[in-house]
Structure 1
């Protein structure tokens, strides 16, 4: 058992080198032979090991990392759709639009317009289309939670790998809720930490890298995001920049939470729903 665990950890560490190379230079050619050499595998075995560890092919990771770069370029708003398409390696806007739609559930133009509106006005953030008129932000109280968690290593674009590994570690344990927890500045930085986390009532297998994460209870500003996970960073930034300063609240040192209400395996990208939870307390002047 211990030997099997060491082999698994070694494989993950070697595959991580390949992922890091892809993330460091998304627009490089990233030939299978070169990545296999970097991970110290033969090309014949590398693609099988990579797919087993990462949950997708090398080509899928390259495509996803490039499209994640495209979301950042579109969010900046200073390049045309054609310019962004060329910048991330697509020969035509049409091919880029198809790939981007599969990645985010919407066209590049719709994504760009939505992100610009989100940054300018938090009330323009996507709302649930359940027919119920609700405020963009609601104040909620959450109890203390103890979650099974796995710390994410690497860029935002590879967070799905961490969630997948955590779910594998759960084995047959029941899962009652899926979470993400971010510590530190929302824009990232040296002290930034992100955890994939699961609420589970059952005992888990003993896995060294899985830790118990205690989330203190308290007051949160909650916004329900409708749409793909690629919109989360811009939506959280809009909440901090546009809603928080005039709210009468200030952030405290609890983690920012993402409560995933469904998953890409259950629904389309456009149907994804995520509660974004900013930890807050009353300002002294309020």
Structure 2
């Protein structure tokens, strides 16, 4: 048994069918007989000469190499996908934020104009779930960044990578401004470490991405009998769990995509055996936005 990464060229991904026996011809009585050899004449000889002089080019058989390369469009660098202003309930903290595309499937938060009259340092972080003023944070979110301490003049601008946001950051709907006072701070409890000072809803406007990989579930079949475990609201399959005896070529065919596209969606996926079996229980991604 051999184990390896999927190879996309120079090999067949499916098992070859059994050889088909040559056809026979029967006479009227039903018993097989040899095909009679026609008597040569001038017209047939001329036809043979014409065919040899102008041979017919065979129709090429489609191969995996002929499949188009999988693509996913990118959002241009500098595109603003969210923007707004933050003000704490009592007006102690103010600043402006923008969320921008980096142009390489990543995003950054830009903070500017920070002012604060509070006696504690202030930080900011993005979360998927709502928070409330006065809550105490037990962990920081995405793009956590210290904005600064008390200052009357607007502070310097800062750009913070939103590591972990993926190619679609729009799930990060809550921008939390909080106290980053030290653990030994003698400030009132409402300004203590991790206390939420302001909560701002982030309204994203992320341009739609385009891709030429569009999985469609054609239904369970031999060597592709696993379960679709997640779909989009419109029913497009987004994940699939490998069943026993699943072959990578048959799974790709079930979802009307090439093996090349399936590997692009699942970097590092492994197969074994000459027929390229997938490992049972592996969850395969079918969503280009989640690759």
Pair in the same fold by TM > 0.5: no
Instruction: Give 1 or 2: higher helix fraction.
Output: 1
* TM-score in terms of structure 2 length: 0.19
Name the structure with the higher strand share.
2
